[in-house]
Chains A and B, each alone.
Chain A
Amino acid sequence: MPTITPARKTPNRTELLQGTLDMLILRTLLFGPAHGHQIAKHIQITTDDVLQVEHGSLYPALHRMERKGWIVAKWEIAKDRNREFKYYRLTPAGKKQLVREQSRWKQLAAAVATVLRPAPGD
Chain B
Amino acid sequence: MSVRNWLRMRIAAAVGQRRNRDVELARELEAHLELEAEERRESGLPSQEARYAARRAFGNTTRVQEDVREIWSAIWLERFARDLQYAARSLRKSPGFAAVAILTLALGIGANTAIFSAIDALMLRPLPFTAAEQLVRIYSIQKGMFNTFANPDGPSALDVRDFAQRSRSIQKMVAYDTWAKNVSFAESAGQPEQMAVGLVPAAYFEILDIRPIIGRLFSEDENQEGKNHVAAISAQLWRNRFAGDPSVLGRKIRINGEPYTIVAVMPDAIPAWVEPGRHSEIWTPFPYSPDMWSESGRGERGYAVLARLKPGVSLEQAQADLSVIAAALAAEHPVDQGVGVAVKRLAGSRVGALRPMLYLLMGAVSLILLIACVNLANLLLARNSARQRELAVRAALGAGRGGLVRQLLAETLLLSLIGGAVGFACAEIGLRALARMPAENLPQLGSVGIDWRVLTFTLLVSLVTSLLFGLAPAFMGTRLNLVDALKQGGRSVTSGRSSQRVRSLLVITEMAMCLTLLVGASLLVRSIMRLEGQNLGIRQDNLLRGRIYLPPVRYTNPGVRTRFCDDFATRVRALPGVIEATVTTVYPPNNGWTQMLVIPGHLVTRIQDVPSAQFGVADQHFLRTLGIPLIRGRDFAESDGATSPPVALISEEFKRRYFATEDPIGRKIHIGPPRSLQIAAEENITDDVDVTIIGVIGDFKNAGLALAPQPQITVLYSQHPLVNGGFKDILIRTASEPHLVESEIRSQLRALDSDMPLAAVQTIDELVERQTGGQRFTTALLASFAVAGLALAVVGIYGVVSFLVAQR
Give CA–CA (A60, B71) in the complex, Å: 7
B31 on the interface (CB 8 Å rule)? yes
Q: How far is the CB of B38 from chain A (nearest CB, A)?
A: 9
Give CA–CA (A55, B67) in the complex, Å: 11
Question: What is the interface residue range for chain B against chain A?
Answer: 10 to 19
Dominant secondary structure of chain B at its interface with chain A: helix
B24 on the interface (CB 8 Å rule)? yes
Contact (Cβ within 8 A) A55 B59:
yes
Q: How far is the CB of A121 from chain B (nearest CB, A)?
A: 45
Contact (Cβ within 8 A) A37 B32:
yes
Contact (Cβ within 8 A) B35 A37:
yes
> What number of A residues sit within 8 Å (CB to CB) of B?
17
Within 8 A of A (CB), among B195-250: none
A67 on the interface (CB 8 Å rule)? yes
Within 8 A of B (CB), among A38-71: 40, 54-56, 59-60, 63-64, 67
Give CA–CA (A40, B32) in the complex, Å: 10
Cβ contacts under 8 Å, B59 to chain A:
54-56
A63 in contact with B71 given A55-B58, A86-B24 (CB within 8 Å): yes
Q: How far is the CB of A69 from chain B (nearest CB, A)?
A: 13
Within 8 A of B (CB), among A68-108: 75, 83-86
Contact (Cβ within 8 A) B31 A35:
yes
Contact (Cβ within 8 A) B63 A59:
no
Contact (Cβ within 8 A) A67 B64:
no
Cβ contacts under 8 Å, A6 to chain B:
none
Q: Among the listed A35, A59, A75, which residue makes an inter-chain contact with B68, where contact means beta carbons less than 8 Å apart?
A: A59
A60 in contact with B72 given A36-B28, A55-B32, A86-B31 (CB within 8 Å): no
Q: Among the listed B25, B31, B35, B71, which residue makes an inter-chain contact with A84, where contact means beta carbons less than 8 Å apart?
A: B31
Q: How far is the CB of A116 from chain B (nearest CB, A)?
A: 33
Contact (Cβ within 8 A) B25 A59:
yes
B28, closest chain A residue (CB): A86
Contact (Cβ within 8 A) B31 A59:
no
Cβ contacts under 8 Å, B60 to chain A:
56
Cβ contacts under 8 Å, A35 to chain B:
28, 31-32
Cβ contacts under 8 Å, A63 to chain B:
25, 68, 71-72
B525 on the interface (CB 8 Å rule)? no
Q: Which of A54, A55, A85 has the most CB of B within 10 A?
A: A55
Contact (Cβ within 8 A) A36 B32:
yes
Contact (Cβ within 8 A) B72 A59:
no
* Interface membership of chain B positions 42-83, coded 1 if the CB is closer than 8 angstroms to chain A and 0 otherwise: 000000000000000011100110011001100000000000
Q: Among the listed B27, B28, B35, B36, which residue makes an inter-chain contact with A59, where contact means beta carbons less than 8 Å apart?
A: B28
Contact (Cβ within 8 A) B36 A67:
no
Cβ contacts under 8 Å, B88 to chain A:
none
B66, closest chain A residue (CB): A60
B395 on the interface (CB 8 Å rule)? no
Give CA–CA (A2, B671) in the complex, Å: 102
A60 in contact with B31 given A54-B59, A55-B58, A86-B24 (CB within 8 Å): no
Within 8 A of A (CB), among B1-41: 24-25, 27-29, 31-32, 35-36
Contact (Cβ within 8 A) B63 A56:
yes
A38, closest chain B residue (CB): B35
Q: How far is the CB of B35 from chain A (nearest CB, A)?
A: 5
Cβ contacts under 8 Å, B28 to chain A:
35-36, 59, 85-86
Cβ contacts under 8 Å, A60 to chain B:
64, 67-68, 71
Q: How far is the CB of A50 from chain B (nearest CB, A)?
A: 17
Cβ contacts under 8 Å, A56 to chain B:
59-60, 63-64, 67
Give CA–CA (A12, B47) in the complex, Å: 34
Contact (Cβ within 8 A) A37 B36:
yes
Cβ contacts under 8 Å, B25 to chain A:
59, 63
Give CA–CA (A60, B25) in the complex, Å: 10
Give CA–CA (A5, B509) in the complex, Å: 60
Contact (Cβ within 8 A) B64 A55:
yes
Cβ contacts under 8 Å, B24 to chain A:
75, 86
Cβ contacts under 8 Å, A40 to chain B:
32
Give CA–CA (A35, B33) in the complex, Å: 12
Q: How far is the CB of A90 from chain B (nearest CB, A)?
A: 18
Contact (Cβ within 8 A) A67 B71:
yes
Q: A54-B59, A63-B25, A83-B31 are in contact. List 6 more A-B contacts (CB 8 A).
A: A35-B32, A37-B31, A37-B36, A56-B59, A75-B24, A86-B27
Q: List 24 A-B contacts (CB under 8 A).
A: A35-B31, A35-B32, A36-B28, A37-B32, A55-B29, A55-B58, A55-B59, A56-B60, A59-B25, A59-B28, A59-B64, A59-B68, A60-B67, A63-B68, A63-B71, A64-B71, A67-B71, A67-B72, A75-B24, A83-B31, A85-B31, A86-B24, A86-B28, A86-B31
Which 3 A-B residue pairs are closest in the complex by CB-CB distance? Answer: A60-B67, A37-B35, A37-B32
